[in-house]
Amino acid sequence: MELGHVVVLAGGLSYEREVSLRSGRRVADALRSVEVPVELRDADATLLDALSNDPPDAVFPVLHGASGEDGAMRDVLELLDVPYVGSRPDACRVAWDKPSAKSVVRRAGLRTPASVALPKEIFHDLGASSVLDHIVRRLGLPLFVKPTRGGSALGASIVREASELPAAMVGCFSYGDSALIEQYITGTEVAVSVIERDGRPQALPAVEIVVPGGRYDYTARYDAGDTEFVTPARLTPEAAERATAAALTAHQALGLRDLSRTDLIVDSDGEAHFLEVNVAPGLTETSLFPMAIGAAGLDLGAVYRDLLLARFP
């Protein structure tokens, strides 16, 4: 089978637009390196007419953030009967909502930090100070605060002292109307990517993230600098096996398809703790998914081409 017309869909209007555009360019370049004809398109008002008037063989969505990861754009592609790489809309909706994803993987047997998810209105209606006091008493310190929906570490922060929590909440609510506050687990931060080949999920080598100061924020993710990435991660064989098993369990329990990336903390006992899963992981030059592909000895363009061919009717 040959692909004659592929659309890489990038951009959109989320907070992660620039990252998405960078991902799109990298995917397009990788596909061209294996001689796949690629058209790079933005998710704008011209998209539907373009896909309807000249239907592609398949679409590779690399939209990050809202619409790109919440299943909405994939619903649109299904309305148009256009094949696409990645998870189906229903699975995206569950994975996109971090508390829902945590509940699913916990039922599947994975460890995940104790947490509470609360909308902004709760703090307004019940009194922010009182609610925050109860959170600290119940979950202890340190804590990690992040929007219940979103990626790229936007609005996320570590809270080591109770006095830091109000500012962390303000930062979180700048990027969403609901906050996930969870116990901060110390250990080795790793990302384990999963790809499906011949219909079976396969975990790639874990990528270890080492950040001076311990905060893997937006800048650390996407600007080359002091952040160190080690792959395969420096884990014991037993811990590496647990991390791999956790990523595969998350992928399957959430009903994901084609590709995903699971973020984990491996504690000092070698236990893997699920943090979140990404149905549209970053594919930029500093992103973890392409690093894992390289560490597995696979060709990036060939992997992307095979994912498209799997969706080709």
The residues that are catalytic are: 16, 152, 222, 261, 263, 276, 278, 282
- Which two tokens mark 30? 């990788």
CB count, 10 Å around CB of 162?
A: 14
Q: What does the alpha-carbon distance between residue 262 and residue 1 come to, in Å, rounded to a whole number? A: 31
Full DSSP string of 200-227: EEEEPPPEEEE-TTS---HHHHHS-SS-
DSSP structure class, residue 164: G
Q: At CA 280, angle to CA 302 and CA 171, rounded to 5? A: 145
The kind and range of the H/E element at 12 are none
Give the phi and the psi of residue 23 in degrees, each rounded to 5: -60, -45
* Local structure of 247: helix, strand or coil: helix
- Tokens, residue 168: 């962390």
Give the whole-angstrom CA distance, residue 214 versus residue 227. Answer: 10
Nearest C-alpha neighbor of 256 from the set 106, 100, 97, 91 = 91
Tokens representing 9 are 């869909």
Return all residues near 77 (Cβ < 8 A) that are at least 6 apart: 51, 59, 61, 84
